[in-house]
Amino acid sequence: MLSVLSKLSWFFKENWKRYSVAISLLIFVGILDVLPPKIVGMAIDAIQIGSMNQNLILKYIGGLLLITVVSYFITYIWMYQLFGGAS
């Protein structure tokens, strides 16, 4: 396995920027994808306490939608960076 990586070292040196961006965005999306369960948990806690109102519901739904859209576009960019290097 390591011998294959050493033979491809010229390729990784040539495309290090592309792979660095892809890996950085992948890590960011991984962190971003942890937020929706936290938001759902906060919404459930608000329901249980009895402090849920229309503004809070809209805030939670808006946050979930925003995270979904941002996560989608960042995932597209890192996948393009990573797999676009094959062309």
CA angle at residue 68 from 65 to 73, to 5 degrees?
A: 130
| 22 located within any domain | no
CA dist 57 and 61 (Å) reads 6
| 44 located within any domain | yes
Q: What is the pLDDT of residues 23-61, one digit of tens each?
A: 999 999 999 999 999 999 999 999 999 999 999 999 999
Q: What is the pLDDT of residues 11-21, one digit of tens each?
A: 878 888 888 89
| 64 located within any domain | yes
In contact, 71 and 32? CB cutoff 8 Å: yes
Range(s) of the domain holding residue 42:
35-86
| 74 located within any domain | yes
Domain count, the chain: 1
* Confidence band, pLDDT 50/70/90 cuts, at residue 85: low
